Amino acid sequence: MEIKFLKKKRKFRKGGLGIKPDLYWKYLLYMTFILILLFCAFGLYLFMEINKEPIPTVMNIDKKGMTEKERLTKALEYFSERKKKSIEILNSPSPIIDPSL
């Protein structure tokens, strides 16, 4: 009488046609690398095309666009007054309210 212990099955296959996931992962990986290379080439092409364009020139600035001296002095006076008021508020003693009243 012959007893066969621990018979191991060496090949596990499904019956019929099966999908090989390794093959599809390789295709996906290759397609990803190809897309990355194409995007890099397209970016380089766009950079070269934009680099060929002339640099736009700046138009002359009229004096109308510049602010007047009076407006600047008014703004400076306003902010100096605000600074003085802030210093007064910081230096004045705060009123102490008696909670027992």
pLDDT at residue 94 in the model: 76
Give the lowest-confidence range in 1-5, 36-40, 70-74, 92-96: 1-5
Question: What is the chain's mean pLDDT, rounded?
Answer: 82
The pTM for the full model equals 0.38
Q: Which two tokens stand for residue 46?
A: 């766009």
Question: Phi and psi of 97, rounded to 5°?
Answer: -95, 130
